[in-house]
């Protein structure tokens, strides 16, 4: 048997088409007992082919029903286990045990055979903010029916010390068996975050450039406003006008423009950060979004104030004769 296997060490042996941290296969389904969806509108969920002891190895809590058994691999057996997100999003909280689902018909293809749900397990990944598309359906499959094959091994000792032995064991089982991409579950999680980290760094760089340009534009606007009205400010001060009222009237329009810009820019920025918050910080996505928007808005507001203070001080100290000469 020529087999390609990828080993992942959390700490018993299990396998699956996809493991936590990897992409699952997508499928659209029909649910027995629920209204038939319109063409192309069947709910889309995630599906994984796994070994019978998959959930025991990953210690997924059994909420209802049973785990898979070796007998479920027999011909004609069509069973599945779903997670709690499936129960909430697809079945609207109804009891899943004994229900039947199947692959929905698509573009002239007939629907697949009915699959009986025999168990409900807790979500393998963080259950917060999950949508219908995050619902999971697990089906049992023999190792030879899955390609590429991912094998998870629980190691009672240090996982790094077990890795070399796995290659020797695989060679004893079948000399043609190729073992590749051996890593720990922590490494799996890190590899999944590479794309997110790159995107986050890219967005951070763009954001920094945008903030620099925005603050430079605000400072230039305020400086230009004062420079254009320096003579007016000097004459009004010479005639006995209240300096505070002079400054307020001078910067009122500019402050209004900056405030409107902060509001209009803060709303879409807040929505973008809020959508990315759960990925960056699943446990505190809302707090991250609010903190980021407040920090960016505060920075622009502080720059605006600084841009007003220094030009205003120069204008208030100008001599009336110099102000008249500049008119």
234 and 96 together in one domain: no
Q: Is residue 215 part of a domain?
A: yes
Q: Is residue 182 part of a domain?
A: no
Using the 8-state DSSP alphabet, how is residue 71 labeled?
G
88 and 11 together in one domain: yes
Q: Is residue 228 part of a domain?
A: yes
Tens of pLDDT, residues 225-270 = 777 777 777 777 777 778 778 777 777 777 787 788 778 877 777 7
208 and 303 together in one domain: yes
159 and 21 together in one domain: yes
Q: pTM score, two decimals?
A: 0.59
Q: Pick the closest to residue 47 from 3, 101, 99 (CA basis).
A: 101
DSSP, residue by residue, 147-172: SSEEEEE--SS-HHHHHHHHHHHHHH
What tokens appear for 118 in the block? 């025999």
207 and 303 together in one domain: yes
The more confident residue out of 325 and 198 is 198
Tens of pLDDT, residues 283-292 = 555 676 677 7
Q: What is the pLDDT of residue 286?
A: 66
From 176, 203, 222, the end of a domain falls on: 176
What tokens appear for 147 in the block? 């390609």
Q: What is the pLDDT of residue 168?
A: 82
User: What stretch of H or E contains 249?
Assistant: helix 243-280
**What percentage of the chain exceeds 70 in pLDDT?**
79
Q: What is the pLDDT of residue 137?
A: 93
Q: Can you name the residues that pair with 152 across neighbouring β-strands?
A: 8, 14
Q: What is the pLDDT of residue 323?
A: 61
Q: Is residue 188 part of a domain?
A: no
Q: Is residue 183 part of a domain?
A: no
Residue 215: CB atoms within 10 Å: 17
**165: pLDDT confidence band, cut at 50, 70 and 90?**
confident
* Helix axes 285-316 and 185-228, enclosed angle (nearest 10): 20
Q: Is residue 297 part of a domain?
A: yes
157 and 237 together in one domain: no
From 176, 201, 222, the end of a domain falls on: 176
Do 140 and 79 form a contact (C-beta atoms < 8 A)? yes
What tokens appear for 112 in the block? 């697949």
**74: pLDDT confidence band, cut at 50, 70 and 90?**
confident
Q: Is residue 230 part of a domain?
A: yes
Please check the confidence at residue 8 and state whether its pLDDT lies above 70: no
Q: What is the pLDDT of residue 20?
A: 47
What tokens appear for 143 in the block? 């190792």
Average pLDDT score over the chain: 76
The dihedral through the CA atoms of 137, 141, 144, 145 has a sign that is negative
Residues 6+ away with beta carbon under 8 Å from 312: 226, 247, 250, 251
Total domains, the chain: 2
Using the 8-state DSSP alphabet, how is residue 63 labeled?
E
Q: Is residue 285 part of a domain?
A: yes
Do 201 and 286 form a contact (C-beta atoms < 8 A)? no
200 and 123 together in one domain: no
How many whole angstroms from its chain centre is CA 9? Answer: 25
Q: Pick the closest to residue 139 from 10, 14, 8, 16 (CA basis).
A: 16
- Give the 3-state secondary structure of residue 233: helix
DSSP, residue by residue, 88-127: HHTSTT---TT-EEEEPPBTTBPP---EEEEEEE--SS--
**37: pLDDT confidence band, cut at 50, 70 and 90?**
low
> Which residue segment(s) compose the domain that 69 sits in?
4-176
Residues 6+ away with beta carbon under 8 Å from 97: 64, 65, 117, 118, 119, 120
41 and 133 together in one domain: yes
147 and 210 together in one domain: no
109 and 202 together in one domain: no
Q: Mean pLDDT throughout 202-215?
A: 81
Cα 304 from Cα 179, distance rounded (Å): 60
Please check the confidence at residue 9 and state whether its pLDDT lies above 90: no
170 and 222 together in one domain: no
Cα 195 from Cα 131, distance rounded (Å): 21
From 145, 176, 207, the end of a domain falls on: 176
Do 59 and 43 form a contact (C-beta atoms < 8 A)? no
Tens of pLDDT, residues 99-130 = 999 988 877 778 889 999 999 999 887 777 78
85 and 137 together in one domain: yes
Cα 183 from Cα 55, distance rounded (Å): 20
């Amino acid at each position: 048997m020529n087999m390609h296997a990828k080993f992942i060490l959390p700490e018993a042996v299990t396998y699956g088409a996809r493991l936590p941290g990897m992409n699952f296969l997508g499928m659209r389904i029909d649910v027995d007992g629920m209204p038939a969806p319109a063409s192309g509108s069947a709910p889309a969920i995630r599906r994984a082919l796994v070994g019978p002891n998959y959930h025991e190895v990953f210690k997924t809590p059994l909420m209802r029903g049973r785990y898979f058994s070796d007998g479920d691999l027999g011909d004609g057996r069509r069973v599945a286990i779903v997670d709690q997100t499936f129960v909430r999003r697809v079945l609207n909280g109804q009891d899943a045990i004994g229900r039947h689902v199947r692959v929905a018909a698509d573009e002239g293809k007939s629907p697949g055979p009915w699959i009986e749900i025999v168990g409900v397990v807790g979500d393998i990944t963080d259950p917060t903010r999950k949508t219908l598309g995050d619902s999971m359906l697990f089906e049992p499959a023999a190792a030879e029916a899955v390609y590429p094959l991912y094998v998870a091994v629980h190691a009672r000792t240090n996982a790094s010390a077990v890795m070399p032995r796995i290659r020797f064991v695989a060679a004893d089982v079948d000399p043609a068996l190729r073992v590749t991409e051996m890593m720990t579950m922590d490494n799996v999680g890190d590899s999944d975050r590479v794309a997110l980290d790159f995107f986050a760094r890219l967005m951070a760089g763009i954001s920094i450039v945008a903030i620099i340009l925005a603050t430079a534009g605000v400072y230039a606007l305020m400086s230009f406003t004062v420079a254009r009205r320096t003579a007016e400010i000097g004459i009004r001060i010479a005639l006995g006008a209240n300096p505070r009222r002079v400054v307020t009237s001078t910067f009122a329009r500019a402050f209004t423009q900056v405030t409107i810009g902060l509001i209009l820019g803060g709303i879409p920025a807040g929505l973008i950060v809020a959508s990315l918050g759960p990925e960056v910080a699943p446990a505190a996505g809302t707090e991250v979004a609010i903190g980021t928007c407040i920090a960016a808005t505060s920075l622009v507001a502080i720059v605006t104030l600084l841009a007003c203070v220094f030009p205003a001080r120069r204008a208030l100290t100008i001599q009336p004769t110099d102000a008249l000469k500049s008119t």
